[in-house]
Amino acid sequence: MRDVRLWIKKEGRAKYISHLDMNRCFTRAVRRAGINIWYTEGFNPHPYLNFLTPLSLGQESDGEPLDIRIMDDMQNDEITQRMNGVLPEGISVAVTSDCISKCADIAFARYTLVLDFEDEAKAQSFTNEARQAVNDGKLFAEKVGKKGRNKTVKQIDICAHIKEFDIKTDGETAVIDTVLSSGNDNLNPTLLVSALNGVIFKEELLHIRRKGFFKSDMTEWR
């Protein structure tokens, strides 16, 4: 018995599949792939599937870590091949690896955000003002949460959660490359967009893609 980490690529229309449905999808996929997965004990046993950092609806990813526990000595490459033979369009296993780092070690995540504008002038204006807002450290947004059964709303300092930020224009689009807090102190990139939208002007968010994870010292988390 050993734990392995599947790095799940999610793109295209699959970005609209919810986290709950992703669990259902992979529960079926491991069975169809003939992988001898470990089942939890107790009254209602179920296959051990642990999505370490659930991805928000509408976002794509180059590799979401999914830990599973297998009961035999199947090799990582064979797991990848079998899973990709049964997964639906837009979802694939980029690679299967041993579990090197603990989930608690995740401190940051890198994202690419692409925003579309009516013309190049507006894209350039947004780029200049967004860069200035981050440099000035004056970005705030409201974060909705829950306390018991009650909904809570609190204002958070966005810049306190930005480790790296770079923005450039590409014709009528603005492209943001950023590293944000993740793990226990997670910042959803949609809140960054919301904050920029509040101090600049409205724009249409085209694309959010998570690129990878880092530890607190900015070494790669694997």
Report residue 211's pLDDT band, with 50, 70 and 90 as the boundaries.
very high
Residue keyed to tokens 């690529």: 9
Whether residue 200 is predicted with pLDDT greater than 60 in this model: the reply is no
Q: Which two tokens stand for residue 77?
A: 């490459």
DSSP 79: H
pLDDT in tens, 86-109: 999 999 999 999 999 999 999 999
Q: Are strands 162-170 and 173-181 parallel, antiparallel or unpaired?
A: antiparallel
pLDDT in tens, 23-61: 999 999 999 999 999 998 878 888 999 999 999 999 999
> At 137, is the secondary structure helix, strand, or coil?
coil
Which residues lie across from 157 on neighbouring strands? Answer: 140
pLDDT of res. 71: 94
Residue keyed to tokens 């590799």: 63
CB 24 within 8 A of CB 88: no
Q: Which two tokens stand for residue 194?
A: 């919301």
pTM over 0.85: yes
Average pLDDT score over residue span 183-204: 78
Whether residue 199 is predicted with pLDDT greater than 60 in this model: the reply is no
Burial (Cβ within 10 Å: 0-12, 13-18, ≥19) of residue 65: buried
pLDDT in tens, 136-155: 998 988 777 777 777 788 88
Q: Which amino acid is at 60?
A: E
Distance CA 3, CA 163 (A): 31
CB 178 within 8 A of CB 108: no
Structural domains for the chain: 2-100 (3.30.70.580), 105-214 (3.30.70.3190)
pLDDT in tens, 106-132: 999 999 999 988 889 989 999 999 999
